[in-house]
Amino acid sequence: MANIRFDDVSKRYPGKIAVDRVSFEVPNGTFFALLGPSGCGKTTILRLIAGLERPDAGEIAIGKKPVAGHGRFVGPEHRGLGMVFQSYALWPHMTVAANVDFGLAGRGLSRAERRNRVREALDLVGLSAEGARRPHQLSGGQRQRVALARSLAVRPGIILLDEPLANLDAHLRQTMLAEFGRIHAQARTTFVFVTHDQNEAMALADQVAVMDHGRLQQLAPPEELFSRPASPMVARFVGQGRLLAADVVASAGRTTRIRLDDTEFQVEGAAPIGPGWLCLRARDVELAGDGAAGERLNGRVVASRFEGGDHRLTVEVGAAGATGLVDVLSPQRGRIGEAVRLALRGGWVLAREAT
Amino acid sequence: MLVAFLAVFVFVLAVWPLGRLFAEALGTGESGRSFGLISEAMASRAFGRAFWNTLETSAASVAVSVLLGLPLALAISLIRIGNRVALTFLVLSPLLIPSQIMALAWIELMGSSSPILGLLGLAPAPGAMNPLYSRGGIVWLMGIEHMPLVFLAVRASLTSLPEDLVEAARIGGAGTFRIVAGVLLPLTAPAMVAGASLAFAASVGNFGVPALLGIPGRYPMLTTLIYQRLNGFGPAVIGQVAVLALVLVAMAGVALGLRGIVLSRSVPIDRSGRPLVPFDAGRFRRPIVVVLWNVVTLLAVVPLLALVGAALSPAVGVRLAPDTLTLDGFRSTLIGSATVRRAFANSILLSAGAAVAAAGIAVGLAYLGTVRRLKLARWTAWFAELPFIVPGTVLALAYILVFLPPLPVIGVSIYGSATILLLAYISRFLALAIGPVQTALASLDPNLDEMGRILGAGTFRRIVKLIVPLAAPAAAAGAILVFMTAFNELTVSALLWSSGVETIGVMVFSLQYEGNSTSAAALSVASIGFVLVLALLVDRLGSRLPAGTLPWRS
């Protein structure tokens, strides 16, 4: 069942299209991530869902109810959502409990019920003891939890999270990420999570929408996004993919034959015959010994750095004038200029758009 | 909804009266020709004299303001000295002391019965005319009165200059003198011109100084000419004086336009770096401190002492001596006179009413314009500044013109009642309240309000629960500024008061006009004391206010 539906939605700012004819659906109860570089329009989409921005074109529905489009507009006050801002937006003049209680007014709840809801929400985020404190007395991670509790207390169908981890240090980020996963499982609410960090997006999301320049590039589960990127942008942005220009010579079903540097390779993916891209990640390539048989790519090491226990070599491959870069992991430090031979273990072929 | 209400309110209080007044000035007059009023007024001799006098004294008083304000600002912001807040407060005290009281204080200081000049044996002979009743007197007093405008502009620009500029010059081998003359002064020149333009605009619209010095000295200026015409001939001549008002606005407008051009043309400076660190003046520190305190005492303290002396003297013209000191003046003025007591009550009620109303409107407008980013609210806030920018005399004229006829629907005229003064105060001083509230709300994270919306709170609940608590210190500061300014106000009140609704400013002016300067001095001292206590109260509040709300704390 669709919980949020975007239908051909556009939003323009003076001199810029923030969201360009975007359509997607978020099923009920999913952990949905909006991923993209800064300025790609992901936060605008979140604000469109919240009702903090009005779309210039297209329709938005929440649940079964249209909330924007056709001259209709439901303000954020009446959408019944929760939201966690990057700045947390805790009201500094109120205690933690008063912050959480704010959204419960005017809902026909008795005093006791409200107190219960506040306690429950603070319990869920592990802050039951801090209700009487003020936001400025809390640590960054605790503020984050209060911001989440404030939204959980009103029991919304959807909680929007705008780069919630951006203001935390690396260690706390991992902890909070795990917390979000736990709370999402417990609260059974739809989470829409905006981030520019692919690891955050991939870690928890059921579905990831990759945005670039206001357009939706791909909407897929994380595994698919990683192994079968739909566009060169996604291939580059997700998992540090490298793209090599290649010629597609044959394509049938899920496999394609391509020619690269006068050698033919069999790779996954489908593309029309003609110019194409070969997307390679470090794990798709390995250094080949001199004697081994099979198709090889010849290249030259241009950079080497030690990362995550391995040496990551950047290798320039291809004939003069049509070279590309590939990353490969190696147990030894690479010498700059050293000639190496690479074997392909995987890869993904994409059609090359007219450029 | 709310924004429409506020927009209509500001329109009725500010835009409509001023617009009507200018339309009136452009009318046909007796001759029936178009722009007849303007050409009739321009042709009159009285107008010509007042116009040139205004231009001349304003320009000369700006020179005084710059000659005083610039060195004071340089010394106080650039040199490491103690008691900087106290010094700054004294330098800025003319902002708190209305010009008619300032004029009164100097009249007492320079007069034949001056308690201070008398001690020094320098007082003019009894019966001789007070030397301040002259062009020079007006220039000097308006110069002091508007000196803080130059001081504030220069100081703001100096203290926000980045220290890197000074360090770079030091490394380049420049000494302190070259740094000040070659780097800092040129960079603050636009601010100085901007401050001087403000001082000019303020001088053109000043009423208190020319009223107390120019009327007895037979030196007419535009503001006093308007006052005397209206007083002499009544509202019938409003068309003629509307032309004078238009000329006043044009003169002030040219000055403010110049300020805008200078500020927009000046080189942009990156002010994000570490702010300027004051210099160590070394062996010059002591002499500089001595000179500073002497100048500031002479400008801000000595005249007030003379005023206190006059208030304590038994009768006008009696030399003050320890055995003649008496509190009779205070007693008879403050307790004995029912009119003065009424004026006190009127001024307190009117200023408090205006302060509360202005702060409320300011919170609404600033919230809608700054947090909600509604265009209409921002325009309205802009228009709300107009009555503060135009000379007070002009605003008062506009109010007479619009509110003299009975109001539609209720059929009652508010002219001659306290209501017209209250409305005029609100519209005149609204800008003072909008400023701090806008600054406070501009630095507020808009997400705080958006979160309230997402959780289902309507506009009214968000303003009450979220915005008012967060803007309260700034709104209180704005309200107190409005109160302090309106409490001693003379310019607008002089034209709009009526018997029964006298205000303190009007009382001081008429007591002095009647020759009862002991009473005038006593009332002035009492009202200034009241305002000073308030100023100290806001100062206590200072730590909870956004930086820059209180002019004497930087």
Domains of chain A, each with CATH number or no CATH = 2-232 (3.40.50.300), 240-351 (no CATH)
CA torsion through residues A30, A31, A37, A39, sign: positive
Q: Long-range pairs for A223-230 at CB < 8 Å and ≥24 separation?
A: A226/A202, A227/A348, A228/A268, A228/A269, A228/A348, A229/A279, A229/A348, A229/A350, A230/A350
- Position B543 scores a pLDDT of 66
Q: Inspect the interface and report whether the beta carbons of B455 and A154 lie closer than 8 Å.
A: yes
Which residues from chain B sit within 8 angstroms of residue A78, using beta carbons?
A: 456
User: What tokens appear for B428 in the block?
Assistant: 């005149």
User: What tokens appear for A184 in the block?
Assistant: 């999402």
Interface test with A, best of B449, B453, B455 (most A CBs within 10 A): B455
Q: Which residue of B has its CA nearest to A152?
A: B455
3-state secondary structure at position A188: coil
Contact B465/A at CB under 8 A? yes
How does residue B413 score in pLDDT terms, banded at 50, 70 and 90? confident
CA distances for A91 relative to A99, B396, B454, B530, angstroms: 7, 43, 14, 37
* Rounded Cα–Cα distance for residues B515 and B465 (Å): 54
* Rounded Cα–Cα distance for residues A8 and A305 (Å): 44
- Considering CB atoms only, which of A75, A91, A105 is closest to B448? A91
Contact A92/B at CB under 8 A? yes
Given a cut of 90, whether residue B354 has pLDDT beyond it is: yes
Which residues from chain B sit within 8 angstroms of residue A151, using beta carbons?
A: 454-455
The verdict on residue B524 lying in a domain is yes
- Position B517 scores a pLDDT of 85
Q: Inspect the interface and report whether the beta carbons of A93 and B452 lie closer than 8 Å.
A: no
Helix residue ranges per DSSP H, A102-221: 111-124, 140-153, 170-187, 198-204
Name the strands in the sheet holding A207-212, side by side, starting at the edge strand that comes first in the sequence. A82-84, A158-162, A190-195, A31-35, A207-212, A215-220
Q: Inspect the interface and report whether the beta carbons of B455 and A103 lie closer than 8 Å.
A: yes
Contact A157/B at CB under 8 A? no
| Chain pair A-B, CB pairs under 8 angstroms | 61
How does residue B150 score in pLDDT terms, banded at 50, 70 and 90? very high
Q: Inspect the interface and report whether the beta carbons of B456 and A103 lie closer than 8 Å.
A: yes
User: What tokens appear for A54 in the block?
Assistant: 């009005």
Q: Which residue of A has its CA nearest to B462?
A: A102
Q: Inspect the interface and report whether the beta carbons of B448 and A80 lie closer than 8 Å.
A: no
The domain tally of chain B equals: 1
Q: Which residue of B has its CA nearest to A81?
A: B454
* Rounded Cα–Cα distance for residues A340 and A317 (Å): 9
Question: Cβ atoms within 10 A of the Cβ of B298, count?
Answer: 11
CA distances for B40 relative to A345, B45, B50, B411, B456, angstroms: 97, 10, 15, 34, 62
**DSSP code of A128?**
G
- Looking at residues B98-124, what average pLDDT do you find? 84
Q: Inspect the interface and report whether the beta carbons of A87 and B461 lie closer than 8 Å.
A: no
Q: Is-contact A328 A287, C-beta < 8 A?
A: yes
Q: Inspect the interface and report whether the beta carbons of B454 and A150 lie closer than 8 Å.
A: no
- Position B190 scores a pLDDT of 92
Contacts of residue B252, defined as CB under 8 A and 6 or more positions apart, other chains included, come to: B200, B201, B204, B205, B389, B390, B391
Highest mean pLDDT among A93-107, A157-171, B59-73, B438-452: B59-73
3-state secondary structure at position B317: coil
**Chain B 103-162, residues with CB within 8 Å of chain A CB atoms:** none
The verdict on residue B554 lying in a domain is no
Percent of chain B, pLDDT > 70? 95
* Rounded Cα–Cα distance for residues A24 and A43 (Å): 15
The verdict on residue B549 lying in a domain is no
Contact A80/B at CB under 8 A? yes
The verdict on residue B136 lying in a domain is yes
**Structural domain boundaries enclosing B414:** 2-18+34-317+331-544
What size, in residues, is chain B? 554
- Considering CB atoms only, which of A76, A105, A106 is closest to B453? A76
**10-residue block means of pLDDT along chain A (355 residues)?**
86 92 94 93 94 94 91 90 92 93 90 94 92 92 93 92 88 88 90 92 92 94 91 87 86 84 84 87 83 76 89 84 83 88 88 67
Name the strands in the sheet holding A339-344, side by side, starting at the edge strand that comes first in the sequence. A285-287, A339-344, A297-307, A310-317, A324-330
Residue B440, CB half-sphere, CA atoms under 13 Å: how many? 29
- Taking only the tens place, the pLDDT of each residue in B201-257 is 999 999 999 999 999 889 999 999 999 998 888 887 888 888 899 999 999 999 999
- Position B30 scores a pLDDT of 65
Q: What is the mean pLDDT of chain B?
A: 88
Q: Inspect the interface and report whether the beta carbons of A89 and B453 lie closer than 8 Å.
A: no
Which residues from chain B sit within 8 angstroms of residue A152, using beta carbons?
A: none
* Rounded Cα–Cα distance for residues B229 and A323 (Å): 90
CA distance B37 to chain A (A): 47
CA distance A81 to chain B (A): 6
ipTM of the complex: 0.83
CA distance A2 to chain B (A): 21
Among residues A111, A183, A196, A112, the alpha carbon closest in space to that of A151 is found at A183
The verdict on residue B226 lying in a domain is yes
* Rounded Cα–Cα distance for residues B60 and B200 (Å): 9
- Position B542 scores a pLDDT of 66
The verdict on residue B553 lying in a domain is no
User: What tokens appear for A141 in the block?
Assistant: 């991670």
Given a cut of 50, whether residue B17 has pLDDT beyond it is: yes
**Chain B 421-450, residues with CB within 8 Å of chain A CB atoms:** 445, 447-448, 450
Among residues B219, B221, B243, B241, the alpha carbon closest in space to that of B231 is found at B241
Q: Inspect the interface and report whether the beta carbons of A79 and B454 lie closer than 8 Å.
A: yes
Residue B376's CATH number:
1.10.3720.10
How does residue B58 score in pLDDT terms, banded at 50, 70 and 90? very high
Q: Is-contact A334 A301, C-beta < 8 A?
A: yes
Contact B469/A at CB under 8 A? yes
User: What tokens appear for A334 in the block?
Assistant: 């690479």
Angle at B487 between CA B316 and CA B432, to 5 degrees: 140
Helix axes B392-403, B238-265, angle to 10 degrees: 140
Q: Inspect the interface and report whether the beta carbons of B448 and A89 lie closer than 8 Å.
A: yes
**Chain A 94-153, residues with CB within 8 Å of chain B CB atoms:** 102-103, 105-107, 150-151
How does residue B274 score in pLDDT terms, banded at 50, 70 and 90? confident
Q: Which residue has the higher pLDDT, B547 or A280?
A: A280
Phi, psi angle pair for B286, to nearest 5°: -60, -55
The verdict on residue B433 lying in a domain is yes
Residue type, B324: T
* Rounded Cα–Cα distance for residues B350 and B348 (Å): 6
The verdict on residue B303 lying in a domain is yes
Interface test with B, best of A84, A90, A93 (most B CBs within 10 A): A93
Which residues from chain B sit within 8 angstroms of residue A89, using beta carbons?
A: 445, 447-448, 450-451
- Position A190 scores a pLDDT of 94
Contact B454/A at CB under 8 A? yes
User: Residue A168 CA to chain centroid, in angstroms?
Assistant: 18
User: What tokens appear for B129 in the block?
Assistant: 């005319």
